[in-house]
Chains A and B, each alone.
Chain A
Amino acid sequence: MNIYTWYHAALRDLSTQGHLQLARQLKGLPSLVATGEHQQVDAVVPELLAATRAIQLPWLEVFVTHWWLQSRVSRRGEGASALFDVTNAFERAHRAEASDCPQSICTTEDLTICYANIDGPGYAAERINVADESVSRIDPSWACFQCMSQARIEALIDAGRPDAALDAFHHASRQVTAYGGTVSGYLALKLPHALLALERPDEALNVLESESMARHDRPHVELAVRRALLIALALARLGSHERARTVLPPFDEARPWVAEGHRLWIETVQALVTSGHVPDEELLAGQLDTLLQDQIAAHAPRRCAELALIVGRIAVARHARDAASSALDTAREQALGIRRPDELEPALCALAVEIDRLP
């Protein structure tokens, strides 16, 4: 069953049964997630869960839980701190009373994203396996086909197989189109993502600046920010630093998107600092520190360690020894939480050497 058909029918039913407030809140939940209003998500979810349980609507309970977890793992990038809730939601969604809910499969997506946050490359093989298994169980007309295809592309990139990620994107797009569907803005952004991973920033930029990509910007504020972040990174990789600086979303706009936004923002900033395009380095240092604190709070050790390494290199470029050492400490500490801590050892050592060389 199409998720949206079910969802709209369920809201209509609730309204006709007199649960107007509940229907209204359920309707607003996905947009709170997509606009980054996470505090409001945290505020409303307990009440929605209590209500859906009280009137015994397990399918809507799955819906609420999924969007809560989308806010936490997909947007705020939570890792280990969300594992209990993600696993619990996954198990509840597979009980008899909820397993036919069209959104049940989305809890599998939440589970894979959570592991991607904890250690993307470390769990890449398992994530690819889960995505393959899920995609094979549904037809491309389902919205979750596109979500699981995104999860698959991300896992392939994390596995160091960007070629396969690019193929996976084209395969998924063809299938969606063949079933009469439209490729969503979220899936469409995986193409430039894969192209950047393949070190083809010129092609990524062409895609990102195309009209077909720009049309997703509104009403999806989130997609507009993500696209701008990717454009800035592509420009930075192409050496167009001045344009990259202009396009790069301001810190406050990038900050809510912990899972993906922080990495894109920090990588672009690294190129801008190296090329002398950041006018206020003191301000930047504070911003980078804030982002690292967000990452630590998200309990996502792999991403946090990798970003701390970049922040350390930025500090080295600024000859800021204390900041570089502090970032290195963070990276070392976080590396202990990943599946194979030794994987990051060469990068940790390299940063330590660079810090030692500072005057």
Chain B
Amino acid sequence: MRGGDVEIRATDVDVSGLLTVLGAHLYSSPVVALRELVQNAHDSIVRRRIETGWNGGVIRVRCPSYGVIVIEDDGAGLTEQEIHSFLATIGRGYTRELREQTGSNELIGLFGLGFLSAFVLAREVVLETTPVSDPAERWVYRSAGGQRYTVARTSAGEVGTRVKLQLFPHHTGLADEPTLKRVLTRYCALLPMPVLVGEAADAVNAELPPWRRETMNLHPALRRRQKLEFATRIDNRFEPLATMDVVATTKVDARGMLWVNGGGSYATSDQRRVAVFVRGMLIDDDARELLPGWAGFVSGVIESNSLTPTASREDLQRDGVWKAVREHVAEQLITGLGEIAATQQEAWRRVLRRHNEALLGAALCDPRLFALLADQVTIPTTQGDLTAAAVVRGGGGSLHVAIESEDGLAATLFRALRTPVARGERFAVLPFVRRYVDAHDVRLVEIGSGSAEGALFQPAAVNPDDRGWLTGALADEGEVLITSTFKPADLPLIVLPDREAQLKQRIEADDADGRISSGALNLARQYTGTIESRPPARLHVNMASDAILAILQARHENPAGAELAARVLRGMKRMTNGVSGDPGAEDMILALDDIAAAVVGLCRSGDR
């Protein structure tokens, strides 16, 4: 076609190439291709119900001989014209057109690609069909590869369709009835019409999911057991601990079940798995993104007719409906966890035991979860795993947390005081305790930050002469001596690093110009320029300590003894805290030197 100087031409389609691409890449596994054929059978039955008011319908899948699978249905069948128009036209599906005409929500097919899946599995496909519109007809479609096909009339048969697949050699393993039963039990679990395998009389999907059953008269314990059994059937990786209902609302049609996995989790372990069924057919086996990121210990089954599968029908389109379903699932999960806590105490205890770390993280993500979990999860402390309330009790009304694991000196101090200190370096502990103290009006002592010092050390006055002597005897370079009182009184001194002052020193050091580019360094110095110049460590000397008081008294009565005693304390300080609060190998040598010198001095003073 030409329009002015513009020539409009149709795109050529290489059917053979397209079939190869679709056949090889559309589906991730042969099982999915089989599912598509069962779905075609389902849609054919729905069509017959819609068009004739009939209410029957059975799908049967058999393996009559080696390497052959047959899928039979008693649905609407196809006329010869429909075979040409729909079966042999890629991208054109009768199902979609029927859905558009009738608005039926039961039909599954959408893209007109489902029948292609036969050629993913089979080197030859033979389809026999008798249309309900003319039961005297029966047609046989036959094709090897899908690109060319024949259609021939045959002797009349029952209304419906029979698809016979002569499988490729590499797919013959699928033609095994136990395998088919296992696969179809999973894929068709929610399909609202019977699917039978082989000559079995019972459908693989005979058992309704719990949310479709009438269970009002059942004892709650029995209902719970049914739900747990269903969960195990869907996901047998872990024994489920407790289930939660997902109930549809007027805005979101998603319903189903979630459950807490029985396998132990740790922190950010991700054991999420959600099976999503759309119109009764399993579409996405692992739609974990429908669950919140914090719910690594949860799995579930969701069914929704509003979600839209992608063309391969193995994934879901991330559209507005998907977002609404995700939000709905998160809400029901939070509600469900609360209900388990309130009504199933034994199960809840197991949930807490198995998933403590993950729940600690989850509590940070939603205020309702925090309210539920704040006093139930435990946090790791220097005295083992304790609830936050127990840490507060042990801390005399304050909650102590060490910001970094290297704060060994503080840990030493609190061990001496028998005060539990939460281990802030462990998963979720620091943000959890910060939120806990806000919610419970408790004082937080963050050991390793300057703010903790005010809570731990009370200033103590001392005369300038004694202060000067103590500084000379005990302080190292880079330490400012502060006289305080603190517990335990047996601890004579302690060094705390001043992180801001340390940073200022390093950023403003001359050698920084050599290793850091100037523009960025200048920007960093904008900040350190606001920090007051001061030594990078604070040496707190405990004026409540008998040792310190004795030394101060001795410096007047026995100056040599006071010097030796001070060297012992300085050696101890260097050994435990390092010089300037930053222990290193050389500090140990200096510490040993102090202590050895003091011991020698004391021994010799005895000689005299």
Sample of 12 more A-B contacts, CB < 8 Å, known A91-B512, A129-B522, A132-B519: A24-B268, A37-B365, A46-B404, A50-B405, A91-B516, A112-B520, A123-B523, A123-B526, A126-B522, A127-B523, A130-B520, A137-B517
Q: Can you list 27 A-B contacts (CB < 8 A)?
A: A25-B267, A25-B268, A35-B293, A37-B294, A39-B364, A40-B268, A42-B431, A43-B431, A43-B432, A44-B361, A46-B429, A49-B404, A50-B405, A50-B425, A50-B426, A87-B527, A90-B520, A91-B516, A94-B515, A111-B520, A112-B520, A129-B519, A132-B519, A133-B517, A133-B519, A134-B517, A134-B520
| B503 lies within 8 A of chain A by Cβ | yes
Chain A interface main SS type:
helix
Inter-chain CA distance A338–B365, complex, in Å, is: 32
Q: Which chain A residues in 263-303 approach chain B with CB under 8 Å?
A: none
Task: Name which of B512, B519, B526 has the most chain A CB atoms within 10 A of its CB.
Answer: B519
| A54 lies within 8 A of chain B by Cβ | yes
Inter-chain CA distance A126–B529, complex, in Å, is: 15
**Contact yes or no, B499 A43, CB < 8 A:** no
Q: Which chain B residues in 353-385 approach chain A with CB under 8 Å?
A: 360-361, 364-365
Q: Which chain A residues in 202-226 approach chain B with CB under 8 Å?
A: 218
Q: How many residues of A contact B (CB 8 A)?
A: 42
| A182 lies within 8 A of chain B by Cβ | no
Inter-chain CA distance A49–B423, complex, in Å, is: 13
Task: Name which of B425, B523, B528 has the most chain A CB atoms within 10 A of its CB.
Answer: B523
Q: Which chain A residues in 24-63 approach chain B with CB under 8 Å?
A: 24-25, 28, 32, 35, 37, 39-40, 42-44, 46-47, 49-50, 53-54
Q: Interface 1/0s, chain B 225-268, versus A by CB < 8 A?
A: 00000000000000000000000000000000000000000111
Inter-chain CA distance A44–B431, complex, in Å, is: 10
**Contact yes or no, B519 A130, CB < 8 A:** yes
| B167 lies within 8 A of chain A by Cβ | no
Residues of chain B within 8 A (CB-CB) of A14 are none
Known: A46-B430, A84-B500, A133-B519. A28 touches B268 (CB 8 A): yes
Q: Which chain B residues in 405-458 approach chain A with CB under 8 Å?
A: 405-406, 424-432
| A159 lies within 8 A of chain B by Cβ | no
Size category, B interface:
35 or more
**Contact yes or no, A115 B526, CB < 8 A:** yes
Inter-chain CA distance A137–B518, complex, in Å, is: 12
**Contact yes or no, A44 B268, CB < 8 A:** yes
Query: How far apart are B321's CB and chain A's nearest CB, in angstroms?
Result: 14
Q: Which 8 A-B pairs have the closest CB atoms?
A: A43-B428, A50-B425, A39-B364, A129-B519, A130-B519, A133-B519, A43-B361, A42-B431
Inter-chain CA distance A127–B360, complex, in Å, is: 39
**Contact yes or no, A40 B517, CB < 8 A:** no
**Contact yes or no, A91 B524, CB < 8 A:** yes
Inter-chain CA distance A50–B429, complex, in Å, is: 13
| A146 lies within 8 A of chain B by Cβ | no
Inter-chain CA distance A72–B430, complex, in Å, is: 16
Name the contact of A37 in the complex, choosing from B293, B318, B424 (C-beta under 8 A).
B293
Inter-chain CA distance A123–B525, complex, in Å, is: 13
Inter-chain CA distance A115–B526, complex, in Å, is: 10
Inter-chain CA distance A22–B516, complex, in Å, is: 30
| A2 lies within 8 A of chain B by Cβ | no
Residues of chain B within 8 A (CB-CB) of A137 are 517
Residues of chain B within 8 A (CB-CB) of A129 are 519, 522
| B84 lies within 8 A of chain A by Cβ | no
**Contact yes or no, B293 A115, CB < 8 A:** no
Name the contact of B293 in the complex, choosing from A40, A42, A112, A133 (C-beta under 8 A).
A40
Residues of chain B within 8 A (CB-CB) of A111 are 520, 523-524
Query: How far apart are B359's CB and chain A's nearest CB, in angstroms?
Result: 11
| B551 lies within 8 A of chain A by Cβ | no
**Contact yes or no, B364 A126, CB < 8 A:** no
**Contact yes or no, B517 A49, CB < 8 A:** no
Inter-chain CA distance A133–B518, complex, in Å, is: 8
Q: Which chain B residues in 523-542 approach chain A with CB under 8 Å?
A: 523-524, 526-528
| A74 lies within 8 A of chain B by Cβ | no
Task: Name which of A90, A134, A218 has the most chain B CB atoms within 10 A of its CB.
Answer: A90
**Contact yes or no, A39 B431, CB < 8 A:** yes
Residues of chain A within 8 A (CB-CB) of B406 are 53
Residues of chain B within 8 A (CB-CB) of A43 are 267-268, 360-361, 364, 427-428, 431-432
Q: Which chain A residues in 69-121 approach chain B with CB under 8 Å?
A: 83-84, 87-88, 90-91, 94-96, 99, 108, 111-112, 115
Residue of B nearest to A47 (CB): B427
Residue of A nearest to B403 (CB): A46
Inter-chain CA distance A112–B519, complex, in Å, is: 10
Residues of chain A within 8 A (CB-CB) of B499 are 84, 88
Residues of chain B within 8 A (CB-CB) of A47 are 267, 425-427
Residues of chain B within 8 A (CB-CB) of A88 are 499, 503
Query: How far apart are A24's CB and chain B's nearest CB, in angstroms?
Result: 7
Residue of A nearest to B431 (CB): A42
**Contact yes or no, A90 B361, CB < 8 A:** no
Residues of chain B within 8 A (CB-CB) of A127 are 523
Name the contact of A112 in the complex, choosing from B266, B429, B523 (C-beta under 8 A).
B523
| A16 lies within 8 A of chain B by Cβ | no
Inter-chain CA distance A108–B520, complex, in Å, is: 7
Residues of chain A within 8 A (CB-CB) of B365 are 37, 39-40
Residues of chain A within 8 A (CB-CB) of B318 are 218
| A21 lies within 8 A of chain B by Cβ | yes
Residues of chain B within 8 A (CB-CB) of A46 are 403-404, 424-427, 429-430
| B507 lies within 8 A of chain A by Cβ | yes
Query: How far apart are B59's CB and chain A's nearest CB, in angstroms?
Result: 35
Inter-chain CA distance A54–B522, complex, in Å, is: 32
**Contact yes or no, A40 B425, CB < 8 A:** no
Residues of chain A within 8 A (CB-CB) of B430 are 42, 46
